[in-house]
Amino acid sequence: MSPERLPRAPATVAGTPTHCPYCALQCGMTVGGSPVRVEPRTDVPANRGGLCQKGWTAAELLTVPDRLTTPLMRAHLGAPLEPCTWEEALERITAEITRLQERHGPDAVGVFGGGGLTNEKAYQLGKFARIALRTSQIDYNGRFCMSSAAAALNRAFGLDRGLPGPITDLARADAILLAGGNPAETMPPFMRHLTQMRERGGALIVVDPRRTATARQADLHLQPSPGTDLALANGLLHVAIEEGFLDEAFIAERTSGFEAVRVSVNAYWPERVERITGVPVPHQREAVRLLGRGARALILTARGAEQHAHGTDTVTAFINLALALGLPGREGGGYGCLTGQGNGQGGREHGQKADQLPGYRRIDDPAARAHVAAVWGVDPGIIPGPGRSAFELLEALGTEHGPKALLLFGSNPVVSAPRSRRIEERLNSLEFLAVSDFVLSETARRADVVLPTTQWAEESGTLTNLEGRVLRRRRAVDPPPGVRSDLQILAELAGRLGAPGTWSADPAEVFDELRAASAGGPADYSGITYERIDAEGGVFWPCPSPDHPGTPRPFLERFHTPDGRARFVPVDYGGVAERIDADYPVYLTTGRVLAHYQSGAQTRRIAPLVERAPEPFAEMHPDLAARLGVREGALVRVSSRRGSVVVRACLVETIRHDTVFIPFHWAGEGRANLLTNPALDPLSRMPEFKVCAVRVEPYERNGAAQ
């Protein structure tokens, strides 16, 4: 059976064209029939008729047995969640917000969003926080996804766009280096573009501590020690300079700051880089030659390179390499990053992040505040300033100077946040927690009020995929009776709180307001309409007017910096935040598996996916297992300085001897994020999910090894 999909239904689905509810590839699918089924669309470039296991089973999400269809409320601390009316639930939320803000001020209430929300919902959530609640305390789980790449892109190019061009450019590349990504499992239809590239004679280079399903298809696999990607990228640039692969004309005409970077990478000669990373010198040289000899080449990063306390600098090092080779100056070349969550790109452009306003504007920019305030019909002075980043917001919950209440939409931080036991404690310390979700997730179970919300196929809106292409999600089925959309919930709460301005529950009306609010900003959607998206199959932003064609390749002629030049930035490798030692002698890295998605709140409810991946595991090399006395399938305890998990050992020869891998999709005592380190990147505020020090030992119960 193909790893890309489950067996398909024999009949063709006649229904509504829309997009998958999972990753940022946003594969096109048709939804319809009775019972509801999905079929892949062939008119969407991202997937062109392909779906992964998750996409093929997406219709089952609509009828999961524990689907919420009525609000739930807890009468008091310790009481069970019980069904209530919408009036009771909304009145309780309004009363708690009012009580706590009167006592402690506007920042007593926080808001936490999600990278899977549509653009309309992300926009309305940010607006609600700023002018209905007037709180600065809003951020979202996308901070845990692509924030390091976003910070590096803004620093180097002046604009944060996931891919530098349409996804179809990949197939025409002569070489692609992918650092820290495993799309063969995380977004399988993406692989067809890499396969087409290799069939044309192009080369795929994969950087990963594990020999993943993607790395097994590579022409060259670089297998560094976890957390050393920055040193490797600097070393590759050193080799590029030494072997004469620089594009001197591009550097002179379209960049600034190269000489400082040239000096800084003098310290990263190949032999030293091999000692730091474990990547042999010949492999370093071969990678540079593959990239440097091609007319078109791409460097892509993903979470493995980005989810570090130095993630922004790591991405910057790869951008420096791309710039030195002149890749961003060529159609089909450049630097890009693989966005993870379904609307990870659009979700951070329109106001969910603590420091941003719609259109990717800075919230501390007076001109940006004035523009958005005019659209909202308020005085700019009432818009609060920047708040805490995602982990810092969660860490502050219930503390003396932190929020006393939290409204949460589209996220499950009990599973997805680092040091998750601590996050549980913080959520439990709140005076009030309200969650909007379609099931009772691990986070929703701790709420005082739970609001049942619509799912992907039951709502309309737009999403922005990893290319920067704005797509339409279309309502294909009716939601169950008693379920409301997040737009309805936010509009109703805004009215009850006496918020100024207009508050629509109609996605088309909200999108028109978003267009006006984004006009003139870096992420300008003002020329994009639902009608254009339908007619053109999606529109690339920025698109500042109805007659503008959109911008599929934003960096070909100039960069979005004041002088139009890309900026080289010197970066230095300082090591991981937590090194291995005698007590914790093994590195842990985390990630995803083919059958599951993010915190697993969706996929752990789909029987075929659970059958394929029923429980968490610790992947380790047989040599490491032999030293520890661990057998295949035996239970092991993996402990860090923050907690421990008990999972089964999975022995593979495709991982480094000093590293174990645990996927992060499961809840309970198998949560990988019980172990992870919340050390934060100073710019992006990304936690160091991808590497920490752990101890692995056979699990003993009642004195006997299991």
Q: Are 594 and 613 contacting, i.e. CB atoms less than 8 angstroms apart? A: yes
What is the pLDDT, as a whole number, of residue 12?
57
| Span 69-107, pLDDT tens digits | 999 999 988 899 999 999 999 999 999 999 999 999 999
What's the rounded mean pLDDT across residues 105-111? 98
CB 383 within 8 A of CB 130: yes
Which candidate, 264, 241, 239, places its Cα nearest to that of 251?
241
What is the DSSP track for 299-366?
EEE-HHHHSSTTHHHHHHHHHHHHHHTTGGGSTT-EEEE---STTHHHHTTTT-STTEETTTEETT-H
Three-state DSSP state, 13? coil
Rounded Cα–Cα distance for residues 416 and 666 (Å): 9
3-state DSSP assignment of residue 221: strand
Given a cut of 80, whether residue 705 has pLDDT beyond it is no
Please give the Cα distance from 180 to 306 (Å, whole number): 8
What pLDDT is stored for residue 700 in this prediction? 77
User: What architecture (CATH level 2) is domain 72-144+343-540?
Assistant: 3-Layer(aba) Sandwich (3.40)
What SS3 state is found at 31?
A: strand
CA distance 284 to 368: 45
| Dihedral of alpha carbons 455, 526, 540, 345, sign | negative
Q: Taking Cα atoms as reference points, which of 402, 474, 411, 513 lies closest to residue 145?
A: 411
| 415 Rama sector, left if φ>0, alpha if ψ -120 to 50, beta otherwise | alpha
- Give the helix ranges, DSSP H, for 497-612: 507-518, 530-536, 607-612
DSSP category for residue 49: T
CATH topology of domain 147-337: Dimethylsulfoxide Reductase; domain 2 (3.40.228)
Encoding tokens for residue 359? 């259109």
Count of Cβ atoms closer than 10 Å to residue 698 Cβ: 17
Q: What are phi and psi of 101, to 5 degrees?
A: -70, -35
The DSSP symbol for 442 reads T
Q: Is 641 exposed, middle or buried (0-12, 13-18, 19+ CB in 10 A)?
A: middle
Q: Give the tens place of pLDDT for each residue, 142-188.
A: 899 889 999 999 999 999 999 999 999 999 999 999 999 999 999 99
Structure token pair of residue 503: 């508050």
Distance CA 343, CA 466 (A): 8
What pLDDT digit, counting tens, does each position of 375-409 carry?
A: 999 999 999 999 999 999 999 999 999 999 999 99
| Bridge partners, residue 700, by sequence | 705
Q: Which residues contact 531 (CB under 8 A, 6 or more apart)?
A: none
Q: Where on the phi/psi map is residue 198: left (φ > 0), alpha (ψ -120 to 50), or beta? A: alpha
Report the alpha-carbon distance of residue 69 to residue 77 in Å, rounded: 23
The Cα 25–Cα 46 span in angstroms is: 6
Q: DSSP label at 225? A: P
User: Is the omega angle on the peptide bond into residue 616 within 30 degrees of 0, that is, cis?
Assistant: no
**Class of residue 61 by CB neighbours under 10 A (exposed 0-12, middle 13-18, buried 19+):** buried
Averaged pLDDT for residues 505-527: 97
Structure tokens at 339: 């966005």
Q: What is the mean pLDDT of the chain?
A: 94
Tell me: pLDDT of 7 over 60.
no
Could you please report the per-residue DSSP string of 162-198?
A: SSSS-GGGGGG-SEEEEES--HHHHSGGGHHHHHHHH
Question: Does the structure show a pLDDT above 80 at 706?
Answer: no
677 and 694 in contact (C-beta within 8 Å)?
Answer: no
- pLDDT above 90: residue 243: yes
Fold of 586-705: Barwin-like endoglucanases (2.40.40)
Domain coordinates in residue numbering, the chain: 15-63, 72-144+343-540, 147-337, 586-705
Total Cβ atoms within 10 A of residue 99: 15
Angle at 295 between CA 289 and CA 296, to 5 degrees: 95
How large is the angle between the packed helices 486-496 and 119-127, nearest 10 degrees? 20
User: How far is residue 346's CA from residue 47's CA, in Å, rounded to a whole number?
Assistant: 19
pLDDT at residue 623 greater than cutoff 90 = yes
15-63 CATH fold: N-terminal domain of TfIIb (2.20.25)
pLDDT score recorded for residue 346:
87
What pLDDT was estimated at residue 11?
44
> What is the percent of the chain with per-residue pLDDT over 70, rounded to a whole number?
97
Residue 559 has pLDDT above 60, yes or no: yes
3-state secondary structure of 564: coil
Q: Which of 705, 584, 696 is nearest to 651 (CA)?
A: 696
- C-alpha 278/C-alpha 581 separation (Å) is 18
DSSP per-residue string spanning 82-144: EE--HHHHHHHHHHHHHHHHHHH-GGGEEEEE-TTS-HHHHHHHHHIIIIII--S-EEEGGGG
Residue 13 banded pLDDT, cuts 50, 70, 90: low
The length of the chain is 706
Beta bridge mates, 659 = 587
> CB neighbours of 10 closer than 8 A, spacing ≥ 6?
none
What stretches of 377-503 show up as alpha helix (H) in DSSP?
390-396, 413-416, 420-428, 486-496
What does the radius of gyration of the chain's CA atoms come to, in whole angstroms? 24
Span 626-638, mean pLDDT? 96
417: which strand partners? none
How confident is the model at residue 1, as a pLDDT?
30
CA dist., res. 479 & res. 255, Å (int): 52
Q: What is the pLDDT of residues 41-71, one digit of tens each?
A: 999 999 999 999 999 999 999 999 999 999 9
What is the structure's pLDDT at 703?
Answer: 45
Contact 520, 537 (CB under 8 A): no
If you average pLDDT over residues 109-133, what whole number do you get? Answer: 97
Does 183 sit behind a cis peptide bond, omega within 30 degrees of 0 on the bond before it? no
The one-letter code for the residue type at 413 is P
pLDDT of residue 14: 78
Residue 701's pLDDT is 63
